[in-house]
Amino acid sequence: MKTFFKLYFIFFISVTNYSQTFLNDDKLNVFILAGQSNMSGAADALNLTKEDLNQLSYAQKNISIVYNGNKPIPLSVTIPPNWKKKKFKLDSCFGPEIFFGIELSKKYPTKKFLFIKRSKGGSSLYGSWNPNWTKNKAKYVGELNKPKLFYDLVNDTNKALSKYKESDYQIRGMLWVQGESDSSQRWGPLPSETYFENLKNLINASRIKFKNPKMPFMIMQVGSNKIVKAMKNVSNELNNVIFIPQSKDKSSNNFLSKREDNIHYNYLGMKKIGILFSQEFNKINNK
């Protein structure tokens, strides 16, 4: 069986091709990542190429990640316990953070980054992610005994940043990959019909909790037509909210390939998601 521990620390020597474009200060640059299973990531990490691994080892020098409240570690693929017993049957996997981080490290090679990620498969914005969580809402979508994920994310962030002075870091943006659960009609139409208001509330509450009223919020298109329409409308209504569309055209840079289940993104699809997030952030940072 292939070993996957190599994915953690492979040192990358040559950095001469890396851009020297910098962020505008020397603070720790913090990104918040949140969502459901496609934010967790089900892309097979064994498909990462030698070049990917070299670039990841370089990114690890300046990028750490806090995942679901655990201690910070260098940016890494995920090796979940008992993962083989689950439906994906992967030794290791990755989400958007890997290639988002790789691209950031290329463009900002001297900057330090901290990713704070909270994700859970099958979680809804109507219930678990709702800043206005209630028992009735959670019960409506079968999440009464599930975590209150928005508040878990806030706690993760406060804990991770408590070791720093507020003047030493800046929350640069939030990445959101969620919408599939609210698309389902399993619980009726209410989750999809209220997604627009719930997403607005999430963005506004996040900006308040993270003390950044203009925090960029980047949304990856996932979910039903109704969910996608809500995402677009929110991005049109609120400042610094960026909607990243998908394309059905396989020749498009926004075409995202999926695993056999046609729900979760494969290596190439997840790689593109990370790159698209980085491209949108670079547009914001260069304004």
Q: What is the pLDDT of residue 24?
A: 61
**Domain containing 254 — which CATH number?**
3.40.50.1110
What's the pLDDT tens digit per position in 211-230?
Answer: 999 999 999 999 999 999 99
Assess whether pLDDT exceeds 70 at residue 85. no
Residue 206 is given by DSSP the state H
Q: What is the mean pLDDT of the chain?
A: 90
Q: Domain total for the chain?
A: 1
What's the pLDDT tens digit per position in 166-225?
Answer: 999 999 999 999 999 999 989 999 999 999 999 999 999 999 999 999 999 999 999 999
> What are phi and psi for residue 255, nearest 5 degrees?
-85, 125
Assess whether pLDDT exceeds 90 at residue 20. no
**Helices in the chain by DSSP H: which ranges?**
37-40, 50-59, 97-107, 135-140, 149-161, 180-183, 190-193, 195-209, 225-237, 267-285
- Percentage of the chain beyond pLDDT 90 is 83
**Which residues make Cβ contacts (< 8 Å) with residue 29, sequence separation at least 6?**
23, 108, 111, 112, 113, 114, 169, 170, 172
Question: Please, which pLDDT band fits residue 21 given cuts at 50, 70 and 90?
Answer: very low
Compute the half-sphere exposure of residue 13: CA atoms within 13 Å on the CB side of its CA. Answer: 0
Q: What is the pLDDT of residue 219?
A: 98
Domain holding 115, by residue range, is 5-285
The predicted model gives 139-160 an average pLDDT of 97
Question: Please, which pLDDT band fits residue 79 given cuts at 50, 70 and 90?
Answer: confident
